[in-house]
Amino acid sequence: MKEPYIPFYYITDEEFKELIFKTIERAKMPLWVTLLAELAYTEKNWVARTDFDGATVVQDRFMPSIAAWLHDWLCRTGKNSKLASQIFKAIMEVQKRSLTSPAGYPKGQIKRRYIAVEIARKLYYQYKKYPVSNVDISKVQSIFWAKKQ
């Protein structure tokens, strides 16, 4: 069996957690992104550093990609839904608007990646079996939808 790809094999879980939150802070992402990241760290069936495999199929411009990391968390814990794809897209849009973000995405790239994750979700990932999540999807929804207020 092929070994899983772990992009951050060379650092500890604590160093990775610090990297995630520093990346969010450096990119001046809104509070809702931080809240989702904190929620991801409460997940019992998700090991943030080793379960994250980076952007699937494409190479991300900068690592760690917060959009890909949160999307991996949602998908690998059974919350792979349209909401996961919308969160992925919204974070890339936040990074696009942030002048201080080194991981800014061009508008066309955001659209292509959103379409790709939606196609993958509909054709493959919705049928894959993942462990039951201990994080209620309504918490994710309330954090994400509160950003619009």
Q: How does pLDDT run across 89-114, given as a tens digit for each residue?
A: 998 888 766 545 555 677 788 888 88
Q: How does pLDDT run across 132-142, given as a tens digit for each residue?
A: 565 677 888 88
Cα–Cα distance for residue pair 72/66, rounded to 1 Å: 10
pLDDT at 42 over 60: yes
Residue 22 makes CB contacts below 8 A (sequence gap 6+) with none
Residue 26 Cα distances to 8, 47, 111, angstroms: 19, 23, 24
- What confidence category does residue 20 fall into, taking pLDDT thresholds of 50, 70 and 90? very high
pLDDT at 86 over 60: yes
Residue 126, classed as helix, strand or coil, is helix
pTM for the structure as a whole: 0.78
